[in-house]
Amino acid sequence: MKAKAIINRYEVFCPQELSLEGDISGLQIGRLDKEVSKVMIALDVRETTVAEAIEKKVDLLIVKHAPIFKPLTNLIASPKNNIYLDLIKHDIAVYVSHTNIDVVEDGLNDWFCELLDIHDTSYLSETKEGYGIGRVGEITPISFEDLARKVSHVFDLDSVRLVSYDHDNQMISRVAICGGSAQNFYQEAIAKGAQVYITGDIYYHTAQEMLTEGLLAIDPGHHIEVLFVKKLHEKFEAWKKENDWAVDFIESQANTNPFYHL
């Protein structure tokens, strides 16, 4: 079947129009009028992802993070450019779903809330009327450190960073969360009554500002967004069954997390 038919079904669920202004979404490499028999879902497009896609004879990659996020000045063979050249050489199309999957209902931030038992949620920051990125909601009261341990356990992490000047172990009942690198929304978390904000890539000075304004935070890293792979695979398998598609959907097994802790 055509790649376009698969993407059209996806965009009924998660329209590109939900993406934040200036974001990269949609087809980035290749074409959607091609026949596909195998689709791989991945978080990132790195050299390991491409090698896996080539080995497994993948026709279409559906990813969260765009492989091209800065203007290219050339396509001369180099370690970085070989990612793009190999995709083109092997006719592997790449479709990106970035902030729209963060915003959409039953998308990535809602899946995070399900895993962490955060309920009665609303969006963290409005992106357009009726839609917003991130979530804020209620949890059964839990100490700050126990919440951090739960985050670490749920996402199978070797550690999390805690934003606190000391071992603050107050009881937490209202939490904000936003996948990726979303420290800029911390003021909205405060305005909506969150005691703790869970997001990745928190800067040193931003962490200090959070604490000055009374907000604790947990930084589990950017890579927790890998949940995108499992959950989207479930979606596509359901749509395959509903529509009797003769296409294989697989989850990328390549590890693209650049960090680990000793």
Asked if residue 53 has pLDDT above 80, the reply is yes
Residue with tokens 């990726």: 180
> CA neighbours within 13 Å on the CB side: how many for 30?
28
Read off the tokens for 228: 């995108």
Residues 6+ apart with CB under 8 A from 152: 158, 159, 160, 220
Instruction: Please state the domain extents for the chain.
Output: 3-98+225-250, 105-219
Per-residue pLDDT at 56: 98
Domain 105-219 has CATH 3.40.1390.30: yes
Closest CA to 64 of 181, 150, 159: 181
Instruction: Examine domains 3-98+225-250 and 105-219 and report if their fold is the same.
Output: yes
Strands (E) in the chain, as ranges, are 26-29, 38-42, 60-63, 93-96, 119-128, 131-143, 161-163, 171-177, 196-198, 216-219, 248-251
Closest CA to 29 of 68, 70, 64, 75: 68
pTM attached to this predicted model: 0.96
Read off the tokens for 142: 């839990």
Read off the tokens for 129: 């009327």
Residue 190, Ramachandran bin (φ over 0: left; ψ between -120 and 50: alpha; else beta): alpha
Q: What tens digit of pLDDT does each residue of 76-129 get?
A: 999 999 999 999 999 999 999 999 999 999 999 999 999 999 999 999 999 999
Asked if residue 135 has pLDDT above 90, the reply is yes
Count helices and strands in the chain by DSSP H and E runs: 9, 11
The mean pLDDT value for 245-255 works out to: 98
Distance CA(130)–CA(105), nearest Å, equals 10
CATH number of 3-98+225-250: 3.40.1390.30
The mean pLDDT value for 219-236 works out to: 98
Per-residue pLDDT at 55: 98
Residues 6+ apart with CB under 8 A from 201: 180, 181, 183, 219, 221, 222
| Largest separation between any pair of C-alpha atoms in the chain | 57
